Structure 1
Amino acid sequence: MARSALILVEGHRGNGPLYIQAIQNFGLHPITLSTDPAQYDYLNTENSQAICVNTDSLAALIHECTGLRAFYDIAGITGFTALDESLYARVGKLCQHFDLPGPNPESIERCCDKFTQRQLLAEAGVPIPTYRLAVNAAEVQSAAAAIGLPVILKPAAGSGSSGVRLCRNVDEVAEHTTYLLGENDLWSSPRILVEEFAQGPFYSADLMGNQVVGIEAADFGPPPHFVFRGATHPAPLTDEKYKRIADVALSCLPALGLGWGPTNIELRWTKRGPIVIEVNPRLSGATCPKLVRLAYGVDLVTEHIKIIVGGECNLRKRHSHVAATRFLLPDRDGTLDFIDGESRAAAVPGVAEVKLYVKPQTPIVRKGDYRDSIGHVIAASPSRAQTEAILQSAVDLIAWSITPFPLHDA
C-alpha cells in the first residue's frame, strides 16, 4: 500500500514548520515542491522531503505530482505565497487537476488583483476606502487630487505591504509613483492603486470556511510605510464592535467567491465604522496562527489540513487567554554588529517564543515591508495587562547594534 503524502508548494519562514509538523501528526509524509528548496532552513532539519521544481509553471507542477503518484497516495495539496500571491491560484488549479479539495482558483485570482477585489467588494456594498486605478504619473496625480491628501499608493498586486506607502504631499506622491513605475521584479504590472487613507485602529479577522475564529489588533512602525510592530489576539473590542467587524468580514466572502479554507481580512475602524483594507485568500503569513492557538486553543494549521484532506474542521475555542507578538524592527540601515538576549528573553515566564531572523554581520537594508523585521517575541497569559508586561520584559532583554554603511563620495 502506497504511503500517503501531502504536497506543499513552496515554503514559509513562519508557517512552513507548523505545516510540516501538523502533516506528520496526521501520519502523512510532507513533500515540498520549490524552485529553491535551500532557501527554507527548516527543510534541512525537519523529517520531510523537498523537490526542486519550477513552481511558476502549472505544467511543471502537474508533471512532478503525476510522477509522485507512482510512489505516494497524494492526500492533499496546499502552498504558500510570498510577494507573488498568484502561486496560490496555481495551487487551486493543481487541486482541480487531481480532483482534490482546494480553493477556487478563479476566486483567488480575482482576489489577488487588488483593483478587481475593490470593484467586487464595492459592488456588493462592502465598506472600502475611496480608490482610483492609475497606470502613469499623470493619472496618479489626478487620482490623488480627486481623493484628497494624504493617500495610500500601492501596486495592484503583491502582499506583505510591499510597495505600500502613505503619501502626505504631492512631492511624496511623485516620488513613490516614480518608484512604483520603475523596473521592479516584485510586481508584474505598472498598475497603481491610489486610495483614501482610512484612519483608525487596525484589525485583522481570521476566518476558516465561513466562520470567524478571532479578531486581532495590530499596530505599525513609523510612517510612511506599514511594517507591523505588534499584534494581539483577541483584539480589545466591545461585543458590538466585534460583531460589526465580523459581519463586514463575512460579507467579503460571497462578494469574492471565497469560503473554502482560511481567509485573512484586514480592516480599520474609522468614523464610518469598519472599513475593509484588504482580503487575503489564505492564512495570515505572520505569527497569527501561533497567537490564535495560544489565545483560543484553536490550531488553524491543523484545522486547515483537515479541510485539505477532505475532512471537517473543529473551531471550538478551548480557552480564553491573551496572546501578543512584538516584532523587532531596526531603526537604520547598516551592518548588524551583534544581536543577543534570545535565551534570556525566552526564559521570561509567559514567553512562548523568541525567534531571531538574522545573524551578526548581516547587511540590514530596510524595504518598508514585512522583510524589515529581524525577529519577534510572543507571549501569552490569562490577562491583557500581564501579557503586555511579559512581552515588554522580554523585548527589553534583547539588544542589537547596527553600524551604518560607510558614505561614499559621489
Structure 2
Amino acid sequence: MERRALIMVEGTRSNGLPYIQAAQRLGLHPITLSADPAQYDYLAAENIEAIRVDTDNLDALIHECSRLRETYDIAGITSARESVYATAGKLCRYFDLPGPNPASIERCCNKFTQRQLLSEAGVPIPAFRVAANVTDVKNSAAEIGLPVILKPVVGIGSSGVRLCRTVEELAEHTTYLLGGTHIWRSAPRILVEEFAQGPYYSADTMGNEVIAIGAADFDRMPHFVFREFTFPAPLTNDEHKRIAGLSLSCLQALGLGWGPANIEFRWTKRGPVVIEVNPRIPAAPTPKLVQLACGIDLVTEHIKLVIGEEWGLRRRHSYTAAARFLVPDRDGTLDWIDGHSRAAAVSGVAEVRLYVKPQTPIIRKGDDGDCIGYVIASSPSSTRTEAILQCAVDLISWSITPFPTLGEQEQSATPNLYAPAEVAADKR
C-alpha cells in the first residue's frame, strides 16, 4: 500500500517543525520541497525527507510532485511560508487537491492591493498611499501627516517596517529601503501608512470561523518587534463581537474563506481598525498559545483541511496563555545564554525556546528576526499566568560583547601590551 504523504513547500524557522510533527501524528509522511533544505535544521535533526527544487518555478514543482506520486499517495500539499503559499495553492489546483484560491492569496500578500480591496468593502483601515521613489514618499507623508509607517508593499515579519515621526526619520528610512540595503523580492514599492494608535489585537481564523483573539504589546519603537502576546485578549463581549465581525468582513472582501488567516488590529479612537490581513497561520508561538488557551490546534486542523479530512474547531477549555519574547537591546556577539532549563522547570511554563547559541552574532534589524527566543506560560488565571511568565523570564540571562569599533579593530591589529579589557553587556 502506498504511503500517504504531505508535501510541504519550503518551511519556516518557527512553524516548520510543528507542521512536520502534526503531519506525523496524523499518520502522514512529510516531504519538504525547498530551494535550500539545509536552512531548516529540524529536517536533518528529525530525519525528514527533503528534496532540493526551485520553489519559485511552478513547472519544476509540478514535475517533482508528479515524480513523487509514482511512490507516494500525495494526500495534500501546503506551506507554512506566506511567500510560497500561493504557489502551494496552484499545485493543489493542478493535482485536484484541497487548497486556497491562489489569486486571493496573491492579492492579499500585496499590501497595497489588500488595502484597496478592504477600502472598497468599507472595512476601516488607516489612510495609505503607495510610493516608488523619494519624492512619492515625501508627498504621501505630507498628505497623510506625520507620524507615518513605511513598509514594503510585499514582505513579512515586520521586515523593513518602521514608524517615522519626523521628516529626518522619514528620509533615513526611505534611504534604507531604496538605497540597496533592504532586500526586495519584487520591484521596490513602499506603502506609506497612517500610524493608527491604540491597543493591538489579532484574530486567528479557520475557514469562516474566528478561533481566538489575542492582545500584544511591542518592544522599543520605532520598530514593531513583539514583546508579549496573550490569549485571550482582555475584551468586553461587545469589543470581541466587533473584532470578530470585522475579521469575517475582511475574509469576505479578500476571498479568504478557505483555510487559516490572521488579522491584525489597532483599537483607535474610532474603534477597531484593520492593520493587516495575513493569509496563513501566524508564526510561533501563536499556534501554541491558541492551543493552550482554548484547546484548538491550528496546525493540525489546517492539515486536516488540506488532506480533505473532517476538522474539529470545538473549544475544549478556557485558560490564559501568554508568551514573552527574548529581545536583545544591543548588537554584538552572544557570549552565553543561561537559565532556560530552570525557566522550563517552573510550574505552569509550557515552553521555553531559544533560536540562538553562544558565539552567534546578534545584528538587530528591527523585525521578527531580532527575537532570540521566547517563554510561554499558561494557567486558568490571567494574573497567575503573568506571574509565572515573569518568574521564568527572570531566570534567563545572557551576555553580549559589542562588536569592536573601527578604531578598536585598527588597534587590535597592532601589538599592544596594554590592550583594554573586553567589555561585556549582560542581561539579567
Segment drifting more, 11-20 vs 371-380: 11-20
TM score, norm. by length of structure 1: 0.98
What displacement does 1:2 show?
1.2
Q: Structure 2: how far apart are the matches of 1:229 and 1:86?
A: 25
Q: Distance in 2 between matches of 1:294 and 1:186?
A: 36
The answer to whether residue 101 in structure 2 is matched with residue 100 in structure 1 is no
Partner of 2:149: 152
The 10-residue stretch of structure 1 (13-22 or 29-38) with the greater mean CA deviation from structure 2: 13-22
Q: Deviations over 1:386-405 (max 9, x none)?
A: 00000000000000011111
Measure how far apart 1:363 and its partner are.
Answer: 0.6
User: Which residue matches 2:321?
Assistant: 323
1:20–1:46 CA contact under 8 A, matched in 2: no
Asked if the contact 1:5/1:30 (under 8 Å) is kept, the reply is yes
**2:195 pairs with 1:162:** no
Residue aligned with 2:406, SS: coil
Residue 261 of structure 1 is aligned with which of 241, 259, 262? 259
Deviation at 1:47, TM superposition (A): 4.7
Q: Does the 8 Å contact 1:111/1:279 carry over to 2?
A: yes
* Cα shift readout 1:2-57 (whole Å, capped 9, x = no counterpart): 11101001112221121111111111111011111111111122252111111111
Distance 1:286 1:202 in 2: 18
Which residues of structure 1 form unaligned runs of 5+? Answer: none
Q: CA deviation at 1:310?
A: 1.1
Instruction: Name the residue aligned to 2:244.
Output: 246
* Counterpart residue identity of residue 338, structure 1: W
State the AA in 1 paired with 2:392: A
What's the CA shift string for 1:35-93, capped at 9, x where partnerless?
11111111122252111111111111111100000000000000122xxx431111111
Aligned pairs for 1:326-345 (under 5 A) are 326-345=324-343
- Residue by residue over 1:265-309, the C-alpha shift from the partner in whole angstroms, topping out at 9 and shown as x without a partner, is 001100010000000000001311000110101111111111001
Are the counterparts in 2 of residues 379 and 390 from structure 1 also a CA contact under 8 Å? Answer: yes
Within 5 A, what are the aligned runs for 1:114-125? 114-125=111-122
The residue correspondences of 1:165-314 to structure 2 (distance < 5 A) are: 165-183=162-180, 184-314=182-312
Residue by residue, what CA displacement relative to the aligned partner does 1:208-244 show, whole Å, maximum 9, x if unpaired?
0000000010111010000011100100100000000
The whole-number CA distance in structure 1 between the counterparts of 2:102 and 2:111 is: 15
Equivalent pairs, count: 407
Q: Which stretch shifts more, 326-335 or 23-32?
A: 23-32
The alignment yields a C-alpha RMSD, in angstroms, of: 1.0
Corresponding position: 1:140 with 2:137: yes
CA distance in 2, matches of 1:236, 1:265: 17
TM-score (norm 2): 0.94
SS at match of 1:269: strand
| 1:56 counterpart = 2:56 | yes
Which protein has the larger Cα radius of gyration, Structure 1 or Structure 2?
2
Gaps (5+ residues) in structure 2? 411-428
Deviation at 1:314, TM superposition (A): 1.2
Report which stretch shifted further, 208-217 or 37-46. 37-46
- Name the aligned partner's letter for residue 8 of structure 1: M
Q: Which runs of 4+ in 1 moved over 6 A?
A: none
- Percent sequence identity over matched residues? 71
Q: What SS does the corresponding residue of 2:365 show, helix, strand or coil?
A: coil
Task: Give me the whole-angstrom Cα distance separating, in 1, the residues matched to 2:163 and 2:209.
Answer: 32
